[in-house]
Amino acid sequence: MLPLTSGAARVLMTADAVGGVWTYALDLAGGLAALGFDTTLAVLGPAPEADQAEAARTVPGLRLLPTGLPLDWLADAPEQIESAGAALAALASEVGADVVHLHGPALAAGTRFPAPVVASCHSCVGTWWEAVRGGQPLPPDFVWRTRMVERGCARTDALLAPSAAFAAATARLYGLRTPPAVVHNGRRHPPPSTARDAAPVAFTAGRLWDEGKNLRALDRAAARLAGAVPVLAAGPTEGPGGARVAFDHVQALGRLGGGDVARRLAGRPVFVSTALYEPFGLSVLEAAQAGCALVLSDIPSFRELWDGAAEFVPAEDDAAVAAAIERAARAPDRRARLGAAARARAERYTAEAMAAGTAAVYRSLLRRAGAPGETAAA
């Protein structure tokens, strides 16, 4: 746990260690440190794995604080989310936070915080349901969760979204007059790699158990490839809420640490995502930074972010997915051309740009509130 820097503005940020929010929080905290903000990272839900905690210790100005509080998207009732919000408000007072940055608006639904509140709209069950189960009525537990997000949106001082497509979907679902501000997710540049291209394989990574990732379509595509191009998938196949997925043809590698994923990407496999729902997609960005050819489902957020730098396929068309993988895997020149385009596009999505966009929102709120951290963060 690192000490706070004298004179820096203080941010209480929440995160979970289950998915991409963890990576987002660490990269954002590191970028904010260079801009005059110190961050206390309050971790909700399961405690970080050892490699995650080690990565947090390398971030300047970051204090890691596991709370044991329930995750909003795993809570059993609205009261649990409200209690978690109240506990976070007390923690914000305890650490003297100038800004509170929540990983989801629902945590603000029933709580008044002692500092301006920013909430990131990384994802939500309402927009997930629209994309994955569109046309079907929301189940009861999704109804109250969606209402909690709606209430939270009304109580925050600023909302952020990682893509314009997701900002529009959020505004439409929750009836927002103004869509969330768009601050694209970013990643630190990976260290230079001298690895040579490996034998052609396809690779994906993420929360494989999430139905929105649509790994069953990729499994069908792998069956069509019949081993001619192996399809590998890194990530957990079982989620904390009991969701799970099994594969017949994709080779599941299990959860890999960040270094292991980076080594896989350094061989420049064909990176594939058949997601039905992906507000941004950090694993896609990591693959692009490594120079991997991208084969992506044709959904609005991917089109917005990667148009002209990836090959797009219908998410459920396993024949098209398999054909796109094979075209890239079997043609080194094509694979290199797609990889170079992806790497060039990834230059837009840096941790520094993400931190600068977020800091601008913080500073606007601090000026409006006349907070003590305004001068230090300017």
pLDDT confidence band for 4 (50 / 70 / 90): very low
Residue 98 covered by a domain: yes
**Does residue 47 sit in the same domain as residue 175?**
yes
Instruction: Give pLDDT tens digits for 185-241.
Output: 999 877 666 666 667 899 999 999 999 999 999 999 999 999 899 999 999 999 877
**Does residue 45 sit in the same domain as residue 180?**
yes
Instruction: Give pLDDT tens digits for 120-154.
Output: 999 999 999 999 998 889 999 999 999 999 999 99
Pairing of strands 270-273, 294-297: parallel
**Does residue 242 sit in the same domain as residue 355?**
no
Q: Is the pLDDT of residue 61 over 70?
A: yes
Compute the distance between CA of residue 319 and CA of residue 169 in angstroms, rounded to an integer.
29
Amino acid at 190: P
Q: What is the 3-state secondary structure (H, E, C) of the chain?
A: CCCCCCCCEEEEEEEECCCHHHHHHHHHHHHHHCCCEEEEEEEECCCCCHHHHHHHHCCCCEEEEECCCCCHHHCCCHHHHHHHHHHHHHHHHHHCCCEEEECCHHHHCCCCCCCCEEEECCCCHHHHHHHHHCCCCCCHHHHHHHHHHHHHHHHCCEEEECCHHHHHHHHHHHCCCCCCEECCCCECCCCCCCCCCCCCCEEEECCCCCHHHCHHHHHHHHHHHCCCCCEEEECCCECCCCCECCCCCCEEEECCCHHHHHHHHHCCCEEEECCCCCCCCHHHHHHHHCCCCEEEECCHHHHHHHCCCCEEECCCCHHHHHHHHHHHHHCHHHHHHHHHHHHHHHCCCEHHHHHHHHHHHHHHHHHHHCCCCHHHHC
pLDDT confidence band for 1 (50 / 70 / 90): very low
Q: Assess contact for 324 and 311: CB atoms under 8 A.
A: yes
Residue 222 covered by a domain: yes
Pairing of strands 270-273, 37-44: unpaired
Whole-prediction pTM: 0.91
**Does residue 73 sit in the same domain as residue 146?**
yes
Number of structural domains found in the chain: 2
Residue 165 covered by a domain: yes
Domain span holding position 276: 202-346
Residue 215 covered by a domain: yes
Q: What CATH number is attached to the domain comprising 241?
A: 3.40.50.2000
Q: From residue 83, how far is each of 35, 107, 142, 170 by CA, in Å? A: 32, 9, 19, 25
Q: From residue 161, how far is each of 90, 150, 374 by CA, in Å? A: 26, 15, 24
Considering only CA atoms, which of 274, 267, 235 is closest in space to residue 22?
Answer: 235
Angle at 177 between CA 171 and CA 178, to 5 degrees: 70
Compute the distance between CA of residue 374 and CA of residue 378 in angstroms, rounded to an integer.
6
Residue 194 has a pLDDT of 61
Indicate the average pLDDT of the chain: 92
**Does residue 224 sit in the same domain as residue 339?**
yes
**Does residue 341 sit in the same domain as residue 355?**
no
Beta bridge partners of 119: 102, 159
**Does residue 244 sit in the same domain as residue 114?**
no
Residue 76 covered by a domain: yes
Compute the distance between CA of residue 191 and CA of residue 187 in angstroms, rounded to an integer.
12
Instruction: Give pLDDT tens digits for 264-296.
Output: 999 999 999 999 999 999 999 999 999 999 999
Task: Please count the other Cβ atoms lying within 10 Å of the Cβ belonging to residue 326.
Answer: 18
**Does residue 94 sit in the same domain as residue 160?**
yes
**Does residue 132 sit in the same domain as residue 45?**
yes
Q: Assess contact for 237 and 218: CB atoms under 8 A.
A: no
The structure tokens listed for 53 are 């905690």
Instruction: Give pLDDT tens digits for 154-174.
Output: 999 999 999 999 999 999 999
Compute the distance between CA of residue 318 and CA of residue 313 in angstroms, rounded to an integer.
9
Compute the distance between CA of residue 1 and CA of residue 12 in angstroms, rounded to an integer.
14
**Does residue 160 sit in the same domain as residue 259?**
no
**Does residue 355 sit in the same domain as residue 301?**
no
Residue 197 has a pLDDT of 64
Instruction: Give pLDDT tens digits for 297-329.
Output: 999 999 999 999 999 999 999 999 999 999 999
Compute the distance between CA of residue 321 and CA of residue 297 in angstroms, rounded to an integer.
8
Q: From residue 61, how far is each of 7, 40, 141, 366 by CA, in Å? A: 12, 8, 38, 19
Instruction: Give pLDDT tens digits for 69-98.
Output: 998 888 899 999 999 999 999 999 999 999
Percent share of the chain, pLDDT over 70:
94
**Does residue 31 sit in the same domain as residue 157?**
yes
